[in-house]
Structure 1
Protein backbone atom coordinates (compact mmCIF):
# COMPACT_ATOMS: atom_id res chain seq x y z
CA UNK A 1 0.00 0.00 0.00
CA UNK A 2 1.21 3.51 -0.76
CA UNK A 3 0.39 4.58 2.79
CA UNK A 4 2.88 2.11 4.29
CA UNK A 5 5.87 4.41 4.61
CA UNK A 6 7.32 2.86 7.76
CA UNK A 7 9.12 0.24 5.68
CA UNK A 8 10.72 2.89 3.47
CA UNK A 9 13.92 4.70 4.27
CA UNK A 10 13.47 8.31 5.30
CA UNK A 11 16.35 10.36 3.93
CA UNK A 12 17.81 13.21 5.98
CA UNK A 13 18.59 15.30 2.91
CA UNK A 14 18.65 18.75 4.49
CA UNK A 15 14.90 19.32 4.27
CA UNK A 16 13.23 21.26 7.06
CA UNK A 17 9.67 21.64 8.29
CA UNK A 18 8.12 24.63 10.02
CA UNK A 19 8.34 24.17 13.79
CA UNK A 20 5.32 23.60 16.00
CA UNK A 21 3.73 20.89 13.84
CA UNK A 22 2.35 17.67 15.25
CA UNK A 23 4.85 14.95 14.31
CA UNK A 24 3.73 12.90 11.35
CA UNK A 25 3.81 12.50 7.60
CA UNK A 26 3.19 15.58 5.46
CA UNK A 27 3.11 15.80 1.68
CA UNK A 28 5.23 18.50 0.09
CA UNK A 29 2.10 20.30 -1.06
CA UNK A 30 0.51 20.22 2.42
CA UNK A 31 -0.47 23.70 3.62
CA UNK A 32 -0.61 24.13 7.42
CA UNK A 33 -1.73 27.69 7.92
CA UNK A 34 -2.11 30.94 6.07
CA UNK A 35 -0.47 29.77 2.86
CA UNK A 36 2.44 28.18 4.71
CA UNK A 37 3.75 24.82 3.53
CA UNK A 38 4.58 22.24 6.22
CA UNK A 39 7.93 21.61 4.51
CA UNK A 40 9.88 24.85 4.15
CA UNK A 41 13.29 23.69 2.85
CA UNK A 42 13.94 21.26 -0.03
CA UNK A 43 10.19 20.84 -0.52
CA UNK A 44 9.09 18.57 -3.38
CA UNK A 45 5.31 18.59 -3.77
CA UNK A 46 5.06 14.93 -4.81
CA UNK A 47 7.22 13.65 -1.94
CA UNK A 48 6.11 12.59 1.54
CA UNK A 49 8.08 13.97 4.48
CA UNK A 50 8.25 13.12 8.18
CA UNK A 51 8.10 16.33 10.20
CA UNK A 52 8.87 16.63 13.90
CA UNK A 53 7.55 19.29 16.29
CA UNK A 54 10.97 20.99 16.32
CA UNK A 55 11.05 21.35 12.53
CA UNK A 56 13.09 18.22 11.91
CA UNK A 57 12.52 16.57 8.56
CA UNK A 58 13.30 13.56 6.44
CA UNK A 59 12.15 12.69 2.94
CA UNK A 60 10.39 9.40 2.09
CA UNK A 61 10.41 10.18 -1.62
CA UNK A 62 7.50 10.09 -4.05
CA UNK A 63 4.07 9.14 -2.67
CA UNK A 64 1.10 8.64 -4.96
CA UNK A 65 -1.26 10.92 -3.02
CA UNK A 66 1.19 13.82 -2.74
CA UNK A 67 0.88 16.71 -5.16
CA UNK A 68 -2.90 16.27 -5.33
CA UNK A 69 -5.82 17.74 -3.41
CA UNK A 70 -6.08 14.48 -1.46
CA UNK A 71 -2.50 14.83 -0.20
CA UNK A 72 -2.01 13.81 3.38
CA UNK A 73 -1.16 16.22 6.16
CA UNK A 74 0.03 14.34 9.23
CA UNK A 75 -0.84 10.68 8.77
CA UNK A 76 0.51 7.74 10.66
CA UNK A 77 1.72 7.31 14.21
CA UNK A 78 3.68 10.09 15.90
Structure 2
Protein backbone atom coordinates (compact mmCIF):
# COMPACT_ATOMS: atom_id res chain seq x y z
CA UNK A 1 0.00 0.00 0.00
CA UNK A 2 2.79 2.42 0.87
CA UNK A 3 4.53 1.88 -2.48
CA UNK A 4 1.43 2.97 -4.36
CA UNK A 5 1.52 6.32 -2.51
CA UNK A 6 5.17 6.84 -3.49
CA UNK A 7 4.36 5.96 -7.09
CA UNK A 8 1.51 8.50 -6.99
CA UNK A 9 3.67 11.38 -5.64
CA UNK A 10 6.84 10.62 -7.61
CA UNK A 11 5.71 12.41 -10.81
CA UNK A 12 4.72 15.45 -8.73
CA UNK A 13 8.12 15.59 -7.05
CA UNK A 14 9.98 15.12 -10.34
CA UNK A 15 8.00 17.89 -12.04
CA UNK A 16 8.81 20.26 -9.16
CA UNK A 17 12.53 19.77 -9.78
CA UNK A 18 12.08 20.12 -13.51
CA UNK A 19 10.33 23.48 -13.08
CA UNK A 20 13.11 24.83 -10.85
CA UNK A 21 15.90 24.20 -13.37
CA UNK A 22 14.90 26.72 -16.09
CA UNK A 23 15.14 29.63 -13.63
CA UNK A 24 18.91 29.20 -13.48
CA UNK A 25 18.97 29.06 -17.26
CA UNK A 26 17.01 32.31 -17.50
CA UNK A 27 19.45 34.10 -15.21
CA UNK A 28 22.37 32.81 -17.25
CA UNK A 29 20.66 33.93 -20.47
CA UNK A 30 20.13 37.41 -19.00
CA UNK A 31 23.82 37.67 -18.10
CA UNK A 32 24.81 36.57 -21.61
CA UNK A 33 22.44 39.13 -23.14
CA UNK A 34 23.91 41.90 -20.97
CA UNK A 35 27.42 40.95 -22.12
CA UNK A 36 26.22 40.88 -25.73
CA UNK A 37 24.70 44.37 -25.36
CA UNK A 38 27.95 45.66 -23.85
CA UNK A 39 29.88 44.21 -26.78
CA UNK A 40 27.48 45.82 -29.25
CA UNK A 41 28.03 49.20 -27.58
CA UNK A 42 31.77 48.81 -28.09
CA UNK A 43 31.21 47.93 -31.74
CA UNK A 44 29.79 51.41 -32.36
CA UNK A 45 33.26 52.94 -32.47
CA UNK A 46 33.32 54.82 -35.78
CA UNK A 47 36.56 55.59 -37.63
CA UNK A 48 36.50 59.32 -38.36
CA UNK A 49 40.12 60.20 -39.06
CA UNK A 50 40.96 60.86 -35.41
CA UNK A 51 44.54 60.34 -34.30
CA UNK A 52 46.20 59.22 -31.08
CA UNK A 53 49.70 59.00 -29.73
CA UNK A 54 50.92 55.40 -29.50
CA UNK A 55 49.35 54.35 -26.19
CA UNK A 56 48.02 51.14 -24.61
CA UNK A 57 44.72 50.01 -26.15
CA UNK A 58 41.85 51.68 -24.33
CA UNK A 59 39.25 54.42 -24.15
CA UNK A 60 40.36 58.03 -23.85
CA UNK A 61 38.50 61.33 -23.63
CA UNK A 62 39.49 63.86 -26.26
CA UNK A 63 41.04 66.01 -23.55
CA UNK A 64 43.51 63.23 -22.62
CA UNK A 65 47.03 63.68 -23.94
CA UNK A 66 46.65 60.43 -25.91
CA UNK A 67 44.22 62.01 -28.41
CA UNK A 68 45.99 64.38 -30.80
CA UNK A 69 43.19 65.01 -33.32
CA UNK A 70 39.43 64.43 -32.77
CA UNK A 71 38.85 63.85 -36.52
CA UNK A 72 35.85 64.71 -38.70
CA UNK A 73 32.80 65.46 -36.59
CA UNK A 74 34.71 64.65 -33.42
CA UNK A 75 34.84 66.79 -30.31
CA UNK A 76 37.34 66.97 -27.47
CA UNK A 77 34.51 65.89 -25.14
CA UNK A 78 34.04 62.60 -27.07
CA UNK A 79 35.37 59.18 -26.09
CA UNK A 80 37.90 57.61 -28.44
CA UNK A 81 39.39 54.13 -28.67
CA UNK A 82 43.14 54.45 -29.14
CA UNK A 83 45.62 51.68 -29.88
CA UNK A 84 49.39 51.15 -29.66
CA UNK A 85 49.94 52.06 -33.32
CA UNK A 86 48.21 55.45 -32.97
CA UNK A 87 44.99 54.24 -34.56
CA UNK A 88 41.71 55.66 -33.37
CA UNK A 89 37.93 55.50 -33.64
CA UNK A 90 35.21 57.63 -32.05
CA UNK A 91 32.44 56.43 -29.72
CA UNK A 92 30.82 59.84 -29.35
CA UNK A 93 30.16 62.31 -26.54
CA UNK A 94 30.24 61.31 -22.88
CA UNK A 95 29.31 63.57 -19.99
CA UNK A 96 32.34 62.43 -17.95
CA UNK A 97 34.59 63.88 -20.67
CA UNK A 98 33.16 67.37 -20.02
CA UNK A 99 34.29 67.57 -16.38
CA UNK A 100 37.45 69.67 -16.43
CA UNK A 101 40.07 68.83 -15.10
CA UNK A 102 38.73 65.48 -13.81
CA UNK A 103 37.61 64.06 -17.16
CA UNK A 104 37.62 60.31 -17.59
CA UNK A 105 38.38 57.80 -19.01
CA UNK A 106 42.02 58.39 -19.84
CA UNK A 107 43.17 54.93 -20.73
CA UNK A 108 42.87 51.34 -19.67
Q: 1:5 offset after TM fit, Å? A: 7.9
Question: Structure 2 length as normaliser, TM-score?
Answer: 0.53
Question: Structure 1 length as normaliser, TM-score?
Answer: 0.71
Cα RMSD after superposing both structures: 2.0
Cα distance in structure 2, aligned partners of 1:42 and 1:70: 16
Name the structure where helix makes up a greater proportion of residues.
Answer: 2
1:40 aligns with 2:68: yes
Native 8 Å contact 1:27 1:49 kept in 2: yes
Structure 1 pair 14/70, CA: closer, same or farther in 2 (3 Å)?
A: closer
1:54 aligns with 2:85: yes
Structure 1 residue ranges, 4+ long, deviating more than 3 angstroms after superposition? none
Q: 1:6 offset after TM fit, Å? A: 5.5
State the Cα deviation string for residues 18-56 of structure 1 (Å, max 9, x = none).
Answer: 12x1110000011xxxxxx21112262210000000000
Corresponding residue pairs, total: 65
Quote the residue 1:22 is aligned against: 56
Higher relative contact order (CA 8 A, sep 6+): 1
Q: 1:73 offset after TM fit, Å? A: 0.7
Structure 1 pair 72/50, CA: closer, same or farther in 2 (3 Å)?
A: same
